[in-house]
Amino acid sequence: MTASIERGSGSGLAVTGARAALSPSQSAARPVPHPIHASLTRTRLYMGVERTVIAIEGTLCAALLFGVGLSFATAGLIALVMLLVHPTMVWATARDPQATEVFIRARAYGDFYTTHAGLGMSSRKPRASIPPAR
pLDDT tens for the chain, 134 residues long, are 455 444 445 444 444 444 445 555 555 667 777 888 888 888 888 888 999 999 999 999 999 999 999 999 999 999 999 999 999 999 999 998 888 888 888 877 766 555 566 666 666 666 777 777 77
For residue 20, being part of any structural domain is answered with no
pLDDT of residue 59: 95
Say if residues 13 and 65 touch (Cβ distance below 8 Å). Answer: no
> Range of 64's domain?
51-111
Q: How far apart are CA 25 and CA 21, in angstroms?
A: 12
For residue 129, being part of any structural domain is answered with no
Count of Cβ atoms closer than 10 Å to residue 29 Cβ = 9
pLDDT of residue 14: 46
Three-state DSSP state, 32: coil
For residue 101, being part of any structural domain is answered with yes
The pTM of the full predicted model, rounded to 2 decimals, is 0.53
Q: Rounded to 5 degrees, what are φ and ψ at 72?
A: -65, -35
For residue 35, being part of any structural domain is answered with no
Three-state DSSP state, 8: coil
For residue 62, being part of any structural domain is answered with yes
pLDDT of residue 98: 85
Q: How many domains does the chain have?
A: 1
For residue 78, being part of any structural domain is answered with yes
